[in-house]
Structures are given as C-alpha cells and as structure tokens.
Amino acid sequence: MGYKKDMSKYENLEGWERCGFGEQLDRWAEKYGERIAVTDSEDEISYMELKQKADCLAAAFLRKGILKGDKVLVQLPNRISFVIVFFALSKIGAVPIMMLPAHREAELEGIIELAKPAAYIVVEKYLGFSYVPMANAMKEKYSCIRHIFVDSESGDISGMIAETYGENGAFPAVDGYETAVLLLSGGTTGVPKLIPRTHTDYMYNARMSAKRCRLDSSDVYLASLPVAHNFPLCCPGLLGTLDVGGKVVLASATSPDDILDAITEEGVTITALVPAMVTVCMEMLEWDEDYDISSLRILQVGGAMLEDSLADKIIEEWPCKLMQVFGTAEGLLSFTSPEDEGSLIARCQGTPVSPADEVKIVDEEDKAVPEGVFGELLSRGPYTIDGYYMAEEANKKSFTSDGFYRTGDKAMWTKDGRLRLGGRIKEQINRAGEKIMPSEIEAYLCRHSKIKEAAVVGVTDETLGNRICAFLVTDDETGIDLQEIHRFLREIGVAAYKMPDQIERVETWPLTSVGKIDKKALERMAQEK
C-alpha cells in the first residue's frame, strides 16, 4: 500500500461536505423545488421531479437486488434518464462506472474483468447502434452481471421510474467519503484504469469549478460532450450547475449544429468544448448566420492543447469570456478566471481551482524546476485521487511515494504565477480530447492475421490535435488498407474514436540508440506523408 490521503485534512475547506449525492439531491429539491433542473431534446424535469424519480428508481434497484457497494456499468447518452440513474445509484450507495456511448466489447471486457459489475444499464439504441445484444453478450460471458436494465420508451428503466410504491425512505446510509463513481482513465495499457471519486471530493470538485466560473441560479449550462466525461459532468458541468440551482441542457450529440442550436434556443450561458469542437463550431458560425450565441457568458475550452492562434480567434470573435481549462479525471483542475486579461487567458491554463491544491513541476529526478522552465506536472490535494481502483502496479508508476499524481503532462509556471501546459511526457494520443494509449491499439492490430507487428503514434493534426497513425509490418503477399483495419477493429469491438486515421507500411523499424522502436522518427515519417 502506498500513500493514503487523509480526508480530515480538508474538513475546514469551504465547499467540502461529508455528504452523499443522494442527500445533496434531496437538499436541492427542497431549495429549488419546481425550477427546471435538466432539459434534453425531448423533455424537461424540475428539481423536485428529479428527486422523486431518483427515489422511485433507487427503490426499484434495491428491490431488484442491487446492493450498496455494487458496481454498475452505465452506458447512456446525454438524456434525462442518465441524470436520474446517476442519483438513483448514489442514493443506494451503488457505484456507476461511467462508460461512454462509443465503447464496445473490447473496452467493456477489460472493465468488467476488473470491477465485476453487478448490473449493466444501456440505452436501447443510440446513433444507429443497438446496445442490447452487446449487453446480453456481456451478461452471458460474465456471471457477475446479474441484471441488464434497458433505457428506452418501453424499457425497464422508464417502467421502474414510474413504479409508485409507498415509502421510498429506507435507503442504506451513504457516507460522503465512500466511492461515488468510477471514472474511466484516458488511455489504458492493456489493463484499464478506473478512477474512484468519493461523493465528497467530487462535489467539492464541482463546487470549486462553479466558483471559478461565478456560476449561479441564472446560469444555463449546456452539456455538449458526453456527460459520462468528467469535464461536462463535474467541472462544473451537470453537478456544479445543479448545486447552484441553474439549468442543465443536455445536447444529444456533439455535432456543431446540435451545439449551436441548443445555445440559440435555450439561452445557454456556459458550455464546455474541446478545441476540435470549437474549430468546427466556428466554421459553422461563418456559414450560417441564423445562430445567436449572444447569451453565452463563458466558453470553457479544455481537454487538449488549445493553440494560441485559436485562443486569440475565440477571444476576438466570440461574444463571451474564454476560460481555458486544464483538467484530469484523476482530479487536478486548473482554470483561467473570468476577470483575467484576454492576453493572459490566451496564453495559459490559469491556476488550480482549490486553495488546497498542491502542484509541483519537476525534472526527471523529481526536483522542482524554476519558473519559466518546463517539467512534469504533479499534483496532490483534496479532490485528486491517491490511487487507481485496484491497481497496485499502475499506482507505483502513476503516484510518487508521498501521494502526488504524475499527470504525464509538461507544464511550467509563468512569471504571473499561472500554469502553462506544453505538451505531453506520457505516451498518450489526444484525439479531439479523447485519450488513447498506443499500446492498446497496437495489441488490437496484432490480433489481425495479416499483421506481424504494429507501432501506433499520435501525429499533430490541425483539427483533431492528434490523429492516429499505425505503422505496420505485414505479410508481403497481402495488402491491407485502412478500410480493412477499421472493419477488423469494429468486429473485435473497439470504440470508433480509436480507429487509426492513417496507416503506413514499413519493412523495418527505425530504432533508438537503446534498440527500441523510435516513435519520434515514426511521427516525423507520418507527418511527412
């Protein structure tokens, strides 16, 4: 066992509260009552209704035998039922595992083997994909999954929400220091990593983010990224907005017209985008003059490097404040402030959101580097985890002996005391904000009969940030093209966002001085093609 975080150290922090999300919802319902809490493309729900429906569903889960501490795979798109399910599970102390709608068998299997979920909640169909056969196949293969719950108009979830039954009060007690949710870590090396966030630290994460955004009950937050992501879920996202009594708008897909329509129609005041989405939204705005984004107060941009030129363009062309967001699902968040000068906002990722965040920037020997010099960003603090879920080996690498999380990101302190990110040290591809580990894709590719060896690199791409390029050593006789690779990866159940954008064949590998595959050389080769 490594370092263990001492939660009592944080008990005097403003916004720190030893309380579960279920209880938080009850308080919000009391405080904000009939105000609209959440809307999606079909419906809206008030704070009071949200509480009532979460109570009904929580009671139904209990009756079906979902127990406190059970892990539950949740794979739902942005819709009101996601929110009800999240709070219903919180109320009984069951722990949702935040799968993305894009995930398929390959991702699910690793997570099921690690976390042994007792149930799996899926949407019936989303963006043309039917989830029920996949869920059934998982249940067949893994005996830990006792229940599949389907969310559709006629599916179990809506039925369970509607079931009225006398007293809903008898829920197990939930301590705020227990795990509330398991987030997916960006990029895995074979064995996936899950991030356990407690009710208390996660609520604190939402509150500190909301405070930095000056969020209040008049705000309308648009979740355009999948809400299973930490950014739209909690930074301040869905949870931070509900805490202040604002309204959350759930966009059902991440296309620029969905986003711009929602902003126009709902009077959205704040939303969160990754840089790649900003670019497409800007192009769309140039094309179509019917959109009205004048209600926007803050545009949060994060998840990947924001190029200086794009930052300047946002500041120049958008009628709102740009807020640069550096975030990690493991914890640490660093945002610029609405009051910062534009020139400052354009060139840094601000300061950590909590006064209790401890941040270090270190060289290869873990010694602090001076201001203005890049090093690795390490962090420890009230809402940063002290270890991944059941991952002793990974934890030894990802955390220092005194509990600092190694982000794997290059950063420096600027002369104004702000953080500026400068790329990655870790071997991770950041494709439009989604994190992908090359080794995971390499392992999938090597399962193809025609592929002998594979090396995957992230190549700088103007729109995506990184695109995925796979270098392959194949049988000489048989050609293999991108289409076939995609077909193969789809067949073995790999999420679409992990599909290579480019493939290159090689006969031999460029090697480093120590005889490893020289990935930098591969990146250069891919860039030149």
Report the interface residues with ligand OOB, using CB under 6 A. 186, 230-231, 235, 302-305, 324-329, 349, 407, 409, 421, 424, 430, 435
8 A C-beta contact, residue 492 and residue 105:
yes
**Exposure string for 25-59, b = 16+ CB within 10 A, e = fewer:** bbebbeebeeebbbbbeeeebbbbbbbbbbbbbbb
Q: Report residue 337 as tokens.
A: 């402030």
Strand, coil or helix: what is 259? helix
Nearer to ligand OOB, 90 or 328 (CB): 328
Q: How far is the CB of 89 from ligand OOB (least distance, A)?
A: 21
Asked if residue 505 lies in contact with residue 472, where contact means CB atoms within 8 angstroms, the answer is yes
Give the H or E element holding residue 85: helix 80-91
Place of tokens 């959109």: 291
Identify which of residues 40 and 376 has a Cβ nearer to ligand OOB in the complex: 376
| Nearest alpha-carbon partner for 231 in 315, 338, 326 | 326
| Closest approach of ligand OOB to the CB of residue 409, in Å | 5
Distance CA 206, CA 97 (A): 18
> 422: which 2 tokens?
């400068």
* Bridge partners, 126 (sequence order): 129
Output the residue with the shortest Cβ distance to ligand OOB. 327
Least Å distance between CB 100 and ligand OOB? 11
DSSP 171: P
Least distance to ligand OOB, CB of residue 358, Å: 17
Q: Six-digit token pair at 383?
A: 């809402």
Between 278 and 480, name the residue whose CB sits nearer to ligand OOB. Answer: 278
Q: Which is nearer to ligand OOB, 81 or 430 (CB)?
A: 430
Chain centroid, CA 343 distance in Å: 28
- Closer CB to ligand OOB, 20 or 433, in the complex: 433
Least distance between ligand OOB and beta carbon 244 (Å): 18
Of the pair 461, 484, the CB lying nearest ligand OOB is at 461
Taking the complex as a whole, the smallest distance from the CB of residue 341 to ligand OOB amounts, in Å, to 18
Query: φ, ψ for residue 172 (rounded to 5)?
Result: -60, 150
Q: Which of 352, 354, 350, 296 is nearest to 323 (CA)?
A: 350
* 47 SS3 class: helix
| CB 191, CB 394: distance < 8 Å | yes
Nearest distance from residue 60's CB to ligand OOB, in Å?
Answer: 32
Smallest distance from the beta carbon of 28 to ligand OOB, in angstroms?
22
Mapping DSSP onto H, E and C, the string for 411-476 reads EEECCCCCEEEEEECCCCEEECCEEECHHHHHHHHCCCCCEEEEEEEEEEECCCEEEEEEEEEECC
Whose Cβ is closer to ligand OOB: residue 160's or residue 332's? 332
Beta pairing partners, 121: 74, 149
Cβ at position 430, least distance to ligand OOB in Å: 6
The residue (of 172 and 422) whose beta carbon lies closer to ligand OOB is: 422
Q: What does the alpha-carbon distance between residue 161 and residue 527 come to, in Å, rounded to a whole number?
A: 52
Q: How far is the CB of 50 from ligand OOB (least distance, A)?
A: 24
Tokens of 239: 């949870």
Identity of the residue, 55 or 340, whose beta carbon is nearer to ligand OOB in the bound complex: 340
Beta carbon nearer to ligand OOB, 267 or 342: 342
**Can you tell me the distance from the alpha carbon of 236 to that of 239, in angstroms, rounded to the nearest whole number?**
6
- CA distance readout (Å), 232 to 225, 227, 493: 6, 5, 26
Smallest gap from Cβ 185 to ligand OOB, in A, equals 6
Instruction: Fill in the DSSP letter of residue 368.
Output: B
Q: Which is nearer to ligand OOB, 325 or 441 (CB)?
A: 325
Supply the minimum distance, in Å, between the C-beta of residue 259 and ligand OOB. 17
Nearer CB in complex with ligand OOB: 208/304 = 304
Q: Which is nearer to ligand OOB, 155 or 465 (CB)?
A: 465
Contacts of 500 (CB under 8 A, 6+ apart): 441, 456, 468, 469, 470, 482, 485, 486
Q: How far is the CB of 290 from ligand OOB (least distance, A)?
A: 30
